[in-house]
A = this chain, B = another copy of it.
Amino acid sequence: MTTNPSDSRAYFFKIDTTMKKIRQSLQKKLDDAQLDITVDQWVLLDHIYRSQKNGISQNELAEMTVKDAPTVTRIIDLLVKKGLAERAMAENDRRRFNISLTADGEKKFHDAFPIVAEVRRKGWGDLSENDYQTFVRILDSIYNNITG
């Protein structure tokens, strides 16, 4: 990072390019393992898995992942087509679906998780716990400054 005034605070590019590299690396490893899912499908799979006790709506998934509703609809279409997730009508609100994983979906989660964890570890390298807390604090702060 230079001290060129027009570059200072040009952190957008860095976040963006770093995230792109992470996505590319993760996608490649998922492909290599022949898991037949994309990174975005993994992200939804992960969120569904973690909230499976109650079942989760598409809108909730959209908000958590910062995707919009149509995007979530289409990714879930793909997950359903692949037999990894299913839509159950919510009994108290017929507009809503409760999304859950099928047995195959849970298996997929468990197959993919170690790969994701490995990329995380590799990316983090030997950065410290202190770094982690600072990093999270800054990201949260940017997030809140932008949305707030």
Contacts and interface: CB of A to CB of B under 8 A. Distances in A.
Interface of A: 1, 9-22, 24-26, 43, 65-67, 116-117, 119-125, 127, 131-132, 134-136, 138-143, 145-147
A127 B123 contact: no
A19 B16 contact: yes
Given A9-B121, A43-B13, A21 B66 contact: yes
B18 A124 contact: no
11 contacts: A1-B140, A11-B120, A12-B22, A14-B136, A17-B66, A22-B146, A24-B66, A25-B146, A127-B142, A131-B138, A135-B138
Give how many copies assemble into the complex.
2
Contacts of A142: 18, 22, 123-125, 127
Contacts of A147: 21, 25
B135 A11 contact: yes
Contact of A14 (B10, B25, B139): B139
Contacts of A65: 13, 17
Contacts of A141: 125, 127
A66 B134 CA distance: 26
B138 A12 contact: no
Contacts of A10: 120
Contacts of A132: 9, 11
B136 A1 contact: yes
